[in-house]
Amino acid sequence: GENVEQHPSTLSVQEGDSAVIKCTYSDSASNYFPWYKQELGKRPQLIIDIRSNVGEKKDQRIAVTLNKTAKHFSLHITETQPEDSAVYFCAASSGGSNYKLTFGKGTLLTVNP
């Protein structure tokens, strides 16, 4: 089955700095790669996703890059703000968005004011 590795497990940055979280996956059939933000005790929220036919996607301060050859994808957050502090999860799926997801272990991002 699919295996998703996520690094780092914790990340602390100063407000205004950039944050990068990296994930690797094992199943070459995976074609959908979403990123979620989860605040303590709440549901995961989809913040951005990318499909295997695209190499990069950007939405305001958030961007995701995908390298299919190397089987890794990354989340980039620029101009971080304290409200960006949360746990971020990457995930992978081989059947598109309506298919089971395999999640990374998560990254606790702390943005210090």
Partner 1 sequence: GAVVSQHPSWVICKSGTSVKIECRSLDFQATTMFWYRQFPKQSLMLMATSNEGSKATYEQGVEKDKFLINHASLTLSTLTVTSAHPEDSSFYICSAFGQYFGPGTRLTVT
Q: Does 24 bind partner 1 (CB under 8 A)?
A: no
Residue 63 and residue 57 in contact, taking contact as beta carbons nearer than 8 Å: yes
Q: How many residues touch partner 1 (CB under 8 A)?
A: 24
Q: Which two tokens stand for residue 97?
A: 């968005």
Phi, psi of 48 (to 5 degrees): -170, 155
Q: Does 32 bind partner 1 (CB under 8 A)?
A: yes
**For tokens 């089971």, what's the residue?**
100
Q: Does 27 bind partner 1 (CB under 8 A)?
A: no
Among 12, 45, 67, 81, contact with partner 1 (rule: CB under 8 A): 45
Q: Measure Cα distances from 26 to 30, 99, 105 in Å.
A: 8, 17, 15
Among 89, 94, 109, 111, contact with partner 1 (rule: CB under 8 A): 89
Q: Does 101 bind partner 1 (CB under 8 A)?
A: yes
- Residue 108 CB, shortest distance to partner 1, in Å, is 8
